[in-house]
Amino acid sequence: MAQSPQRRDLTQGDVGRTLLLFALPTLGSNILQSLNGSINAIWVGRFLGEGALAATSNANMVMFLMFSAVFGFGMAATILVGQSMGRGDVEGARRALGSATGLVMGGAVVASVVGWIFAPDILRLLATPPEVMDMALDYLRVIFLGLPAGMLLVLLMMGLRGVGDAMTPLWFMGLGAVIDVGLNPLLIAGIGPFPQMGIAGSATATLIANHVSAIGLLIVIYWRDLPIRLRGHELRWLLPARALMKTIVAKGLPMGAQMVVMTLAGLAMVGLVNRRGVDTAAAYGVSQQLWTYIQMPAMAIGAAVSAMAAQNIGAGRWDRIAQITRSGILYNVVITGAMVVLVILFDRPVMALFLGGDSPALPIARHIQLIVSWSFILFGTTMVMFSVVRANGAVWAPLIALIVALYPVRFGFALFAEPLLHADSLWWSFVLGSATAMGLAAAYYRWGGWRATRLVVAPEQEEVEEQALASGEPAGRIQPAG
């Protein structure tokens, strides 16, 4: 199959240059996603006030938890897609992504229903302030309705990056952002022919944007005959074969659990912050908005490292893996460090967009930012090393390291240092947790047995027979080279 001009062969060329050129479109997607969220938060804060901003912060954390419950399967499929493409096995890549799509969409529908039903109980567990409970519930329930479309959109984008196409996801992230940002004020305030929906209008704008983008991306995938499309008999791969499903679940559950662990830690932190009042909750919510920008380079570089390492492992190019890791860490330190400096220098005028210049939450937010922001350089370095080891199927060590860093270390410090540091114990716990995670990641990367791990999927009997009888191309095998 001829290579699309949008696709990039990640097993050839200078490692540093290839990684950077592949990471930049992903970074662009992250920027658009973060701008989208921030502008929407500005609309909510300006139209509906600080209480509504705190409500969306609580609800978004819950939504991300449900998202995480099925997201690991997509991560596992992306690694399988990358390794298959590294071997030149396009059919194997399609089979992996088709299986993951069936699993993820089923899980997303279940999560959407469960989330809608138990939304009030979840918000109460978060200690959501009573004065914002109704707004948080209205917002959260609409967000749950849009979860399946959002999951499909992300899964398709991950699959495209797995085959080396980072540009197509960028265009559709832009489309979704324009729709979401444009509809937010119209649906919140009821401008023109649009109904006045209040905070539910913000969530409805996101729901519409996700559906339009997911459907549009599917159309383009088939129109351009991109490698991850399924046609004819390939559609049956949406019902995964047992061996492939076993691999996706075995690798996807620990990776999904990592996101769940991180989200639960975030929810627990929200609960601790909420107990300090609405001003601190609003300040923390705005700080999280800025942290999304600081994290963008690390997330983009981590995604690029994962796809690039998977393709090179599939191609047997182990000589490039250490170079990929070093380049990823270097880019993270330089770019994330620059983001931290910019955010610290311009935090007040940016935060005033959300809170207003006279808000009592503003000095609290600036104080939080000054303590926590620098820890994201450590977070990015951890992301790079974990992305490399996961690209070869090593998923348990990163999960264990994350649990240790977040729970006994971060929350242990936050609780036991509280009498001495008061609220600052919460903010300094981020720094200590990030440093611990980076140390554990470095130790496992250097001395762990992740290089010996293999993503092996034995073909089932019916697949063997099908391959023997086929007169065309042999069926793809989800199995790494040597």
- Give the whole-angstrom CA distance, residue 315 versus residue 319: 11
- Above 70 in pLDDT, residue 38? yes
Lookup result for tokens 């999927």:
457
Is the pLDDT at 476 greater than 70? The verdict is: no
pLDDT, one tens digit per residue, over 50-98 is 777 777 776 776 777 666 666 777 788 888 888 888 888 888 888 888 8
In this structure, is the dihedral angle defined by the CA atoms of residues 28, 34, 36 and 39, taken in order, positive or negative?
A: negative
Q: Determine the pLDDT at residue 375.
A: 94
For the chain, give the percent of residues with pLDDT over 90.
27
- The token pair at 303 is 């995604």
Residue 142: name the closest of 55, 72, 217 by CA.
55
Whether 434 shows a pLDDT value over 90: the answer reads yes
- Give every CB contact of residue 44 below 8 A, 6+ residues apart in sequence: 52, 53, 56, 184, 188, 199, 202
- Alpha-carbon distance of 423 to 421, in angstroms, equals 6
Radius of gyration of the CA atoms of the chain, in A: 22
What pLDDT was estimated at residue 146? 87
Tokens of 423: 């609220």
Confidence of residue 447 (pLDDT cuts 50, 70, 90): very high
Q: What is the pLDDT of residues 164-209, one digit of tens each?
A: 888 899 999 999 999 998 998 899 888 888 888 888 888 899 899 9
Alpha helices in 87-198 (DSSP H): 90-125, 133-145, 147-162, 167-189
CB of 244 within 8 A of CB of 184? Answer: no
Q: Which two tokens stand for residue 300?
A: 């983009």
Q: What letter would DSSP give residue 224?
A: T
Cβ(16)–Cβ(327) below 8 Å: yes
pLDDT, position 10 = 80
- Judge contact between 53 and 197, C-beta under 8 A: no
pLDDT digits (tens, 9 = 90+) for 337-347: 999 999 888 88
283-295: per-residue pLDDT in tens?
888 888 788 788 8
Residue 60 or 436, more confident: 436
Q: pTM score, two decimals?
A: 0.77
Sort 56 into a burial class: Cβ within 10 Å, 0-12 / 13-18 / 19+.
buried
Q: Return the pLDDT at 473.
A: 36
So what's the pLDDT on residue 446?
Answer: 93
Decide if pLDDT at 354 tops 80.
no
Report the pLDDT value the prediction gives residue 330, as an integer from 0 to 100.
Answer: 96
C-alpha 26/C-alpha 305 separation (Å) is 11
Encode 2-40: b = buried (16+ Cβ within 10 Å), e = exposed. Answer: eebebbbebbeeebeebbbebbbbbbbbbbbbbebbbbb
CA-based nearest residue to 380, from 329, 444, 441? 329
Q: Residue 124: which residues within 8 A CB-CB, separation 6 or more? A: 133
Query: Around Cβ 400, how many Cβ atoms within 10 Å?
Result: 14
Which of 112-121, 242-251, 273-282, 364-373 has the highest mean predicted lDDT (pLDDT)? 364-373
Nearest C-alpha neighbor of 265 from the set 403, 454, 133: 403
Count of CA atoms in the C-beta half-sphere (13 A) of 50: 20
- What pLDDT score does 97 carry? 86
Residue 11's nearest CA partner among 389, 308, 391 is 308
Residue 470 pLDDT greater than 50, yes or no: no
Q: Which two tokens stand for residue 289?
A: 């908005």
pLDDT of residue 406: 93
Lowest mean pLDDT among 55-69, 140-154, 240-254: 55-69
Please state whether 474 falls in left (phi above 0), alpha (psi between -120 and 50) or beta. Answer: beta
- Residue 8: pLDDT band with limits 50, 70, 90: low
Distance of alpha carbon 117 from alpha carbon 391, whole angstroms: 36
Q: Please, which pLDDT band fits residue 477 given cuts at 50, 70 and 90?
A: very low
At 399 the pLDDT is 93
For the ranges 288-302, 382-396, 431-445, the lowest mean pLDDT is seen at 288-302
Report pLDDT for 70. 66
Q: Identify whether the C-beta of residue 268 lies closer than 8 Å to the C-beta of residue 127.
A: no
Q: What is the mean pLDDT of the chain?
A: 83
